[in-house]
Amino acid sequence: MSKTDYLEEKQHIIEVSRYLHEIGLLVRTWGNISSRVEDDLMLITPSGIMYDDLTPEMIVPVKLSDMSYKGDFKPSSEMLVHAAAYRVRKDADFIVHTHQVFASCAGTLGMKKIFSYYEDDDVTIPVAPYALPGTKQLADSVARTLRKFKGTNGIIMSNHGTLCLGRNSKEAIFEAMMMETACNNFLTDVCKMDVTQGVEEMFSSHIEDGKIVYDVKDTPERVKTIHKQIYGKRSDVNFIIHNKSDAIMTVSRRANNMRPLLDDFAQLIGTSVRIPSNEGEIYNNIKKNVNVLFVPNDGAYCFGSTYEDAEAVAMVLDKGCIAYMSVMRNGEGHYLSMFDCIRMNRNYRKNYSKLADTVRELKEDDKET
């Protein structure tokens, strides 16, 4: 391992991460960024740390030859993907991996390539075959795709997200932004998916001193009953966000069951979500390991132990509903297997969420001192 601390390069990675977070291509701790600083050494963002909380000592040096690293922070779970890409693409020195909405959704349609356009130029975006996140199989899939499409600077990892390469950060950032616009154009033209993306919060609540506090003063009694049912059945829940985004409202009116199309949906929300056909079925749909409750023609209630957790569920559900509608309108898609969903959900709850809790505790300790 090099003795150089690469402070300037680490700081640049942090600046890029915050910029991508600001424009919405990186959210919470999802995605990762790396920079090749030597032939056999890359710097990569750590696992489970919010981008606003990153400091230079958290950026992890990793050797490409054997994936060894030093320091107190664990490198991103996708370090194998980054390393594989650097080995194939000797001209690339910067990589951005995002879970950006429209490109991720386009990657659920089962296509090998996405044909679209950006401004006046035609665009072809390769799609790497699916493999579980963080695995050698995913890294191998990415490597094969990059070898096959030698001139491309960006690919979609099926049912997961994007991988954008460049000789520098500017090129990688452009690729990510270009791909999101091109995939939005594709979903609009081919799947007729002209919807607004994002959380549309309505009647939310939280627990304070053991009592339910409603964020909207005039929350209807019907809605309050739903909140009480969720808190009564899920003692681990402290925050509920009522999300009425375009995509979620559409699904709440027309669907009866959602199977995961995206990795983060399986991880944060659950292995499947049932949409009741009437309000009499709502209570029985509050499940132990499913962090969403749909209500017919009224969107969905997204919950978690913290506001940040509930907000993450709300964002992932909106993206999942866009993917679901895209597949329905396209007439074909690639759903994740139940086995893979169960593995990812268990791993997230047992490992990643615990890491997030540890980081929160450290932040609280810092505030107190």
Structural domain 205-358, CATH architecture:
3-Layer(aba) Sandwich (3.40)
| DSSP assignment string, 332-358 | ---PPPHHHHHHHHHHIIIIIHHHHHH
Q: What is the pLDDT along the chain (369 residues), one digit of tens a residue?
A: 444 689 999 999 999 999 999 998 988 878 999 999 999 999 999 998 888 899 999 999 999 999 999 888 999 999 999 999 999 999 999 999 999 999 999 999 999 999 999 999 999 999 999 999 999 999 999 999 999 999 899 999 999 999 999 999 999 999 999 999 999 999 999 999 988 889 999 999 999 999 999 999 999 999 999 999 999 999 999 999 999 999 999 999 987 889 999 999 999 998 889 998 887 888 889 998 899 999 998 999 999 999 999 999 999 999 999 999 999 999 999 999 999 999 998 888 777 555 555 444 445 555 554
| Homologous superfamily of 7-190 | Class II aldolase/adducin N-terminal domain (3.40.225.10)
Write down the domain spans for the chain.
7-190, 205-358
Ordered strands of the 292-294 beta sheet: 211-214, 205-208, 239-243, 300-304, 292-294
Angle between helices 246-254 and 307-330 (to 10 degrees): 60
The reported pLDDT for the residue numbered 364 is 52
How far is the C-alpha of 105 from the C-alpha of 183, rounded, in Å?
A: 8
The reported pLDDT for the residue numbered 353 is 53
pTM of structure: 0.91
The reported pLDDT for the residue numbered 366 is 52
> What's the token pair of residue 350?
């047992």
